[in-house]
Amino acid sequence: MLFFVFRLLRPSVEKSVPLSVWTIKLHNRMSSSRHPRAALCQLSVTADKRANLCAARELLEEAKRRGASMAFLPEAFDYIGSGREETLGLSETLAGETMTQYTQMARKLDIWLSLGGFHERGCERRIYNSHIVVNNQGEMVSTYRKCHLFDVELPEKGVLLNESAYTIPGPSLVAPVQTPVGQIGLGICYDLRFPEFSLALQKSGADILTFPSAFTEATGAAHWEVLLRARAIENQCYVLAAAQVGRHHDGRSSYGHALAVDPWGVVMADCGGERAGVALVEVDLDKIRTVRRNMPLRKHRRDATFYTSL
């Protein structure tokens, strides 16, 4: 049996650098150097797309310096507008300047990117919330458009968002995509709350579920960690969830706490709730196989008709 120990390293960061860096090293009796590293990024974006790009580039360069083969950016990594008109006005197509910058960055840094929620210009003055995977050659290899839209009113908590007012729901899930860190099942934020969504991706071969997000402070404090850990435990997958943090404009703030969770439900990394940063984690695919072998949920699950028999 292998014994896993998690160690948090907090290297010194110059005061002029507005980010935090965590490196979480996964050790066992054998060398962990064979395990690929994933970088989990936390951003605090505004409507200033150029400033947001610079902040993301800084995190991605740091991730590459620390040996990451793939980096994960949160939902709305490109910008967060202050209202419907600004949100629509700043949107671009996948062939626009923003995605061109990121594909060039992936190629230059020789790193894969999970771009977790791009405001993709659609039709009839609406957009798609699109999760795009870019390989280290700068090619867009997979695009998932968010299926579950966040139309939620919680007046007692100061939460009122109507995503469907300007967003087109995606037509379908997309198959998990093979990356240097494993097979990744793509979701976005609110998709996290639908367990059948994650199960479908796991059944299709996902080793890692990823939920790039911009959770509100109220819903994040109540549900963020418990939902991510639940999806990891019930699907016996890694879960990587990049996040937005802090105040974006006068009417909106995000919870932060970008998290990495292992297949046993252990939180491997937490970027906190205060500022931008990046956490690096090592992904051990053997651990997935061990957990699934020792507790064979897939084998024990009844056929679909059983669960609809009521």
Just list the catalytic residues. 75, 146, 189
Q: For residue 168, report the phi and psi dihedrals to the nearest 5 degrees.
A: -90, 130
| Amino acid residing at 240 | L
* 277 neighbors 202 (Cβ within 8 angstroms): no
The string of DSSP letters for the chain reads ----EEEEE-----TTS--EEEEEEEE-SS-STTS-EEEEEEE---S-HHHHHHHHHHHHHHHHHTT-SEEEE-TTSS---SSHHHHHHH-B-TTSHHHHHHHHHHHHHT-EEEEEEEEEE-SSS-EEEEEEEE-TTS-EEEEEE--S--EEEEGGGTEEEEGGGTBPPPS-----EEETTEEEEE--GGGGG-HHHHHHHHHTT-SEEE--B--BHHHIIIIIHHHHHHHHHHHT-EEEE-EEEEEEETTEEEE---EEE-TTS-EEEE--SSS-EEEEEE--HHHHHHHHHHS-HHHHPPPHHHHT--
What distance lies between CA 170 and its chain's CA centroid? 17
Q: For residue 213, report the phi and psi dihedrals to the nearest 5 degrees.
A: -145, 165
Closest by CA to 128, choosing from 78, 98, 91, is: 91
